A and B are shown apart, each in its own frame.
Chain A
Amino acid sequence: MDSFDSSIRYAVVLCGGSGRDMEPLSVGLPKSLITLLGVDVLTRILQGLKTAGIEGVIVVIQGSEQLRRRALQVGEELGLEVEVVEQGSLREVWGALVAAKNSLVGRVGEGSFLLSYGDIVSTPRFYAKLVEDSSAAGYPVASVVLQKDVTTYGVVKLGSNGAIEKIVEKPVSLDPNMGGYVLAGAFVLPTSIFEFGGEEDGFIGVLNRFAETYTLGISVWEGVWVDLGYPWDVLTASSKLLGELKQSSISIHSRVSPTAIIEPPVVIEEGAVVDHHAVIRGPAYIGRNVYVGTGALVHSFSSLEEGVSIGAYTEVSGSVLGPGTWVGRGCFVGNSVVGMKVVFEPHVTTLSVLRDSEMPARLEPTISNGRPIHKMGSVIGNGARIGANSVLYPSSRVETNATISPNTVLRSRV
């Protein structure tokens, strides 16, 4: 790499991988197609790349026809030139990148490209800042974010020149010699990166070798950023996106009862119905064709995706309900992640307050009354059915398509 070309026109987005840690939400649905505030993760990424001035994107998948179709469709809608490449049996991040090598080198030659993981949730400026920082620095850069719990990430050690000295994957704790900046899953790299590793290498190993030889700078991102690794990351992502809402938007094609109480900021999409005496406290998202029953309470930081229905006097708090989920009357759903087309029979209760020692990795505490409290409700797989009057203990897990009988007390830990 004699000179670094910082004009970036092409990107590679990695959407392969099994998403095992995301189960049961990822059973039958690739992570990149999880919907947040009405927009799936892949579409959000492609919109961000478009904002950053990217013209063409190579999307790497592993067998999912659903993803292939979606990538091409969104590409067409956004005016991005999208090519879908199959990862096949190549493994992990580096394998996925190697799968894209031929297409990529064919397009950019010895130039540079943007690489993004396909499970990153952020706001559109994320990629634009990365490209700007790389261009200002004149060398390759990795986007980094500050995390308190670093144990599930690749932590970067910065040298005295402010560039990356080395990367350590999934350390056991925050190391005072390393600090809390972790790789954010987006990079501007030259195609000469392929000289630093073979097909069987790990991506972090390759980056470390690259950083030993060349300057690999950082682009510190302070905005919304969530890596969808675990089911509760969906909650974090949804609440961070909701935290960005600055004003309400209520579709003229929705129907909101004059006795309903709406506290901004809220988004109420086309076809949604908010019935008499319902209360919606923003920030909250009410998707297309959602029904909010009489006297229901939707607390702040909740997202009801397309086609969700919640019955009379049900309370939803700090939760994400996936598309097509149906919640009967009188339920309480708190700090829970609910997949697609789940059924809650009437009077189901999810409990959510944890002991500090029970916190799952990287879940941020909720600030209540000025003090942090650890809350985690249930994770419920696509198509599950929870019987009437059941009680789900904090951080319970219900598998995809499982059926829980009425009056069950469930204590299965995620």
Chain B
Amino acid sequence: MCGIIGVVRLSKARLGQPLGQIIRQSLEKLEYRGYDSVGLACIVENELVIRKGKGKIKDVSVTQGFDRLNGDVGMGHTRWATHGKPNDINAHPHRDCTGRVAVVHNGIISNYSLLKQELLARGHRFMSETDTEVFAHLIEEKLAAGYGGYHAFKAALMSIAGSYSFLALITQEPDKIFFARRNSPLVLGISSDALFVASDIPAFLEYTDRVVALSDGEVGFIALDGSVVVEDLASARRVDLSGRIRKIGWTPELARKGGYPHYMIKEIHEQPRVLADTVKSLLDDGSYQRAAEVMLSSKRIFLVAAGTAHHATLAARDALLTLGGMVSYPVVSSEYALHALGVEEGDCVVAVSQSGETIDTLLALREFKERGAMVVSLTNMMDSAIARESDLQLYTKAGPEIGVAATKTFITQVASLVFLAAKLGVMNGKLREDEYTAFLKHLEEAPELVEKNINISEPSAKELARILRDRSSMYCLSRGLGVPLAKEGALKIKEVSYIHCEAYEAGESKHGPISLVARMFPVVFVASDTGTFEQLSSNLVEMKSRDAYTVGLIPAGENHTLAGFDYTFTLSSALPVINTILFAPTLQLLAYYLALSRGYDPDKPRNLAKTVTVE
């Protein structure tokens, strides 16, 4: 899970800054993919110059002088360690024995130890402990055998098993960046000033929004003469790109912080707008009708996702049950092998992934498809691997999400899935027309209510964070339709503030977890499902009687008995299925301010990267 970027500058007149600076700025936009070490390589007067080191981009950039490096062809890498500790030597790019080949890599080479033994036996010297370095030496061997640069690159790929997106610089053909992808994302960015190849679009969004998403098994190069060549590795056939260039319509501002100190808080504040965009697209998009038809006619529905997207599918399960009267099976992507045993012809799988590149979800989808299931995908990225491999594509309109903690993609995923459930409900007669109309009205009003809830919650979330900052553990409880959000809230708090936070159905307290509760133990109640308030009240009392510090997210203006929290967020609300969307930002804000008040950077949680592209 690393970020890679390659740049070929075509016009010095219009893109005048040093290439090292352009690459460094691009890497900063990819830092969410990993940030334990960083490096870049440029071709300067037909020689390779490599600079790299352990640490955050802004620190290594200063010590290594990234911004002073010039040239017209270069590439960079920000690393999230899988093989070999994060240190200066294991930082990418890696080179061969001769210093004529440099490679950067995202993914895992599964046969690297065998390859490494063979290469060592043939006299190659290895500098690092990484799997990546074998690829540089393989290219070196092919060059020694008389292959040209591009052919050597392709021939070396033939030996590689596992997942990869590779970039390579080879001094023999100093005007080109070679690339290849298999199971790890790679996109081309095309403009008249420069050509880009990167793990994700924000890397080059400052310069162009014309992109081509590469498919698995594609290989090629971008060159100083402006040429973009893509081939299918297996068949060696040239791929026609003319129909695949998309203008995605994202502006450079979307990948900037806009005056906020972190992407996470900027993205929390973007939620009203992206939710409005998503809701609008739902109503205009015929794909939801088709997806609902597929789901309705299928024997069983599996909802496959990981992390935050899994919590969105839990909300979908509940909505399918309450609005559509249908039972569905949420599956955590990494557990797909077990669940696949029960999949057969006539089943349907809904795969949900922000990036559309989550490797576990992709593998699950392939396995389920293989067994005859129809695949519907919901992603935030056009042409992503998961979208391409599914029978029906649905999209959220969240725009680029750079903060590692998913925020705006969660609420847009929930909106899309709940809408899908309501469509289904109408089609199978569980939801009356007037109920559906009322539901749509609530959904259309949701962006405005989300904005109000953000505005009203933010100062309180910051204050509450000051009160809770020294705690090491807390609970986040709910009942009924509120449980998925409680789980998502607990995940947010864990991942950015490092406070252990556990979510469970509030009725479970007496079956074990309440034994942890002592004086001042924080317990957050997500009271978004009005139908459960009576039971939730008794759960609150049992926590208060143990002197817990109780926090409530409760609907405003409701005539209910739920009161007596130590700290209360009174929020605008709608139907319980939609409250998951409306209440989510409050927990995101609490997680964000807990991180700040504990002195952590919420954009760079330790041990985490955003897009999980390795198993």
- Seen from chain A, the residues whose Cβ lies within 8 Å of a Cβ on chain B are 133, 136-137, 141, 146-148, 150, 158, 160-162, 174-180, 217-222, 364, 367, 369-372
Is B142 an interface residue when CB atoms closer than 8 A count as contact? no
- Cα distance, A150 to B596, chains bound together (Å): 21
Flag if B259 contacts A146 (CB, 8 Å): no
- Cα distance, A177 to B455, chains bound together (Å): 7
Flag if B566 contacts A371 (CB, 8 Å): yes
With both beta carbons as reference points, the residue of chain A lying nearest to B549 in the complex is identified as A370
Flag if A180 contacts B458 (CB, 8 Å): yes
With both beta carbons as reference points, the residue of chain A lying nearest to B254 in the complex is identified as A162
Flag if A176 contacts B456 (CB, 8 Å): yes
Flag if B459 contacts A174 (CB, 8 Å): yes
Contact partners of A222 in chain B: CB under 8 A = 261, 596
- Nearest CB of chain B from residue A226's CB, rounded to whole Å: 15
Contact partners of A147 in chain B: CB under 8 A = 459
- Cα distance, A220 to B260, chains bound together (Å): 5
Contact partners of B459 in chain A: CB under 8 A = 146-148, 150, 174, 180
With both beta carbons as reference points, the residue of chain A lying nearest to B596 in the complex is identified as A222
Flag if A148 contacts B462 (CB, 8 Å): yes
Given contacts A176-B572, A220-B260, A370-B520, contact A162 B452 (CB under 8 A): no
Is B266 an interface residue when CB atoms closer than 8 A count as contact? yes
- Cα distance, A174 to B569, chains bound together (Å): 13
- Cα distance, A176 to B260, chains bound together (Å): 20
Task: Please provide the chain B residues from 232 to 279 with a CB less than 8 Å away from any CB of chain A in the complex.
Answer: 253, 256-261, 265-266, 269-270, 272-273
Is B466 an interface residue when CB atoms closer than 8 A count as contact? yes
- Cα distance, A162 to B272, chains bound together (Å): 11
Q: Which of A136, A180, A218 has the most CB of B within 10 A?
A: A180
Identify which of B265, B270, B454, B466 contacts A179 (C-beta below 8 A). B454
Contact partners of B466 in chain A: CB under 8 A = 367
With both beta carbons as reference points, the residue of chain A lying nearest to B452 in the complex is identified as A176
Flag if A217 contacts B258 (CB, 8 Å): yes
- Cα distance, A371 to B522, chains bound together (Å): 11
Contact partners of A176 in chain B: CB under 8 A = 452-453, 455-456, 572
Task: Please provide the chain B residues from 444 to 463 with a CB less than 8 Å away from any CB of chain A in the complex.
Answer: 451-456, 458-460, 462-463
With both beta carbons as reference points, the residue of chain A lying nearest to B597 in the complex is identified as A222
Contact partners of B453 in chain A: CB under 8 A = 176
Flag if A217 contacts B462 (CB, 8 Å): no
Contact partners of B261 in chain A: CB under 8 A = 220-222
With both beta carbons as reference points, the residue of chain A lying nearest to B251 in the complex is identified as A161
Flag if A179 contacts B462 (CB, 8 Å): no
- Nearest CB of chain B from residue A47's CB, rounded to whole Å: 22
- Cα distance, A280 to B257, chains bound together (Å): 42
Q: Which of A158, A222, A370 has the most CB of B within 10 A?
A: A370
Contact partners of A174 in chain B: CB under 8 A = 455-456, 459
Flag if A133 contacts B455 (CB, 8 Å): no
Given contacts A218-B259, A370-B549, contact A178 B265 (CB under 8 A): no
Contact partners of A160 in chain B: CB under 8 A = 272-273
Residue pairs across A and B with Cβ atoms less than 8 A apart, 12 shown, are A141-B259, A148-B460, A148-B462, A148-B463, A162-B259, A162-B266, A176-B453, A177-B452, A220-B265, A364-B463, A370-B520, A371-B566
With both beta carbons as reference points, the residue of chain B lying nearest to A222 in the complex is identified as B261
Given contacts A136-B256, A217-B259, contact A372 B467 (CB under 8 A): yes
- Cα distance, A162 to B253, chains bound together (Å): 10
- Nearest CB of chain B from residue A369's CB, rounded to whole Å: 8
Identify which of A136, A177, A367 contacts B467 (C-beta below 8 A). A367
Flag if B269 contacts A162 (CB, 8 Å): yes
- Seen from chain B, the residues whose Cβ lies within 8 Å of a Cβ on chain A are 253, 256-261, 265-266, 269-270, 272-273, 451-456, 458-460, 462-463, 466-468, 470, 520, 549, 566, 572, 596
Q: A162-B253, A176-B452 are in contact. List 9 more A-B contacts (CB 8 A).
A: A137-B258, A146-B459, A162-B270, A175-B455, A179-B456, A220-B259, A222-B596, A371-B566, A372-B467
- Nearest CB of chain B from residue A136's CB, rounded to whole Å: 7
- Cα distance, A388 to B32, chains bound together (Å): 62
- Nearest CB of chain A from residue B459's CB, rounded to whole Å: 4
- Cα distance, A178 to B459, chains bound together (Å): 12
Contact partners of B270 in chain A: CB under 8 A = 162
With both beta carbons as reference points, the residue of chain B lying nearest to A133 in the complex is identified as B259
- Cα distance, A310 to B258, chains bound together (Å): 49
With both beta carbons as reference points, the residue of chain A lying nearest to B570 in the complex is identified as A176
Given contacts A160-B273, A367-B467, A372-B467, contact A137 B462 (CB under 8 A): no
Contact partners of B256 in chain A: CB under 8 A = 136-137
- Cα distance, A160 to B266, chains bound together (Å): 12
- Nearest CB of chain A from residue B208's CB, rounded to whole Å: 18
With both beta carbons as reference points, the residue of chain A lying nearest to B519 in the complex is identified as A370
Contact partners of A162 in chain B: CB under 8 A = 253, 258-259, 266, 269-270
- Cα distance, A370 to B474, chains bound together (Å): 14
With both beta carbons as reference points, the residue of chain A lying nearest to B566 in the complex is identified as A371
- Cα distance, A179 to B461, chains bound together (Å): 12
- Nearest CB of chain B from residue A151's CB, rounded to whole Å: 12
- Nearest CB of chain A from residue B573's CB, rounded to whole Å: 13
Q: List the 5 shortest-distance A-B pairs measured between CB atoms, nearest first.
A: A179-B455, A180-B459, A148-B459, A176-B452, A218-B259
Contact partners of A370 in chain B: CB under 8 A = 467-468, 470, 520, 549
Contact partners of B596 in chain A: CB under 8 A = 222
- Cα distance, A176 to B566, chains bound together (Å): 22
Contact partners of A136 in chain B: CB under 8 A = 256-257
- Cα distance, A150 to B455, chains bound together (Å): 12
- Cα distance, A180 to B463, chains bound together (Å): 12
- Cα distance, A101 to B233, chains bound together (Å): 67
Contact partners of B460 in chain A: CB under 8 A = 148
- Nearest CB of chain A from residue B270's CB, rounded to whole Å: 8
Contact partners of B451 in chain A: CB under 8 A = 177
Contact partners of B462 in chain A: CB under 8 A = 146, 148
Contact partners of B266 in chain A: CB under 8 A = 162
With both beta carbons as reference points, the residue of chain A lying nearest to B276 in the complex is identified as A160
- Nearest CB of chain A from residue B271's CB, rounded to whole Å: 11
Contact partners of B265 in chain A: CB under 8 A = 220
- Cα distance, A147 to B260, chains bound together (Å): 15
With both beta carbons as reference points, the residue of chain B lying nearest to A181 in the complex is identified as B458
- Cα distance, A350 to B462, chains bound together (Å): 30
Contact partners of B470 in chain A: CB under 8 A = 370
Given contacts A160-B272, A370-B549, A371-B467, contact A179 B258 (CB under 8 A): no
Q: Which of A160, A364, A371 has the most CB of B within 10 A?
A: A160
- Cα distance, A27 to B269, chains bound together (Å): 43
With both beta carbons as reference points, the residue of chain B lying nearest to A141 in the complex is identified as B259
- Cα distance, A68 to B227, chains bound together (Å): 65
With both beta carbons as reference points, the residue of chain B lying nearest to A162 in the complex is identified as B258
Given contacts A148-B460, A217-B259, contact A158 B549 (CB under 8 A): no
Contact partners of B456 in chain A: CB under 8 A = 174, 176, 179
Contact partners of A372 in chain B: CB under 8 A = 463, 467
- Cα distance, A220 to B462, chains bound together (Å): 14
Contact partners of A217 in chain B: CB under 8 A = 258-259
Contact partners of B455 in chain A: CB under 8 A = 174-180
With both beta carbons as reference points, the residue of chain B lying nearest to A132 in the complex is identified as B259
- Nearest CB of chain B from residue A16's CB, rounded to whole Å: 28
With both beta carbons as reference points, the residue of chain A lying nearest to B447 in the complex is identified as A160
Given contacts A136-B256, A160-B273, contact A179 B549 (CB under 8 A): no
- Cα distance, A217 to B451, chains bound together (Å): 19
- Cα distance, A220 to B257, chains bound together (Å): 10
Contact partners of A141 in chain B: CB under 8 A = 259
With both beta carbons as reference points, the residue of chain A lying nearest to B266 in the complex is identified as A162
Contact partners of A367 in chain B: CB under 8 A = 466-467
With both beta carbons as reference points, the residue of chain A lying nearest to B456 in the complex is identified as A176
- Cα distance, A53 to B8, chains bound together (Å): 34
- Nearest CB of chain A from residue B287's CB, rounded to whole Å: 26
Contact partners of A220 in chain B: CB under 8 A = 259-261, 265
- Nearest CB of chain B from residue A116's CB, rounded to whole Å: 17
- Cα distance, A218 to B259, chains bound together (Å): 5
Q: Which of B259, B260, B459, B460 has the most CB of A within 10 A?
A: B259
- Cα distance, A369 to B485, chains bound together (Å): 29
- Cα distance, A161 to B456, chains bound together (Å): 20
Q: Which of B458, B460, B566, B572 has the most CB of A within 10 A?
A: B458
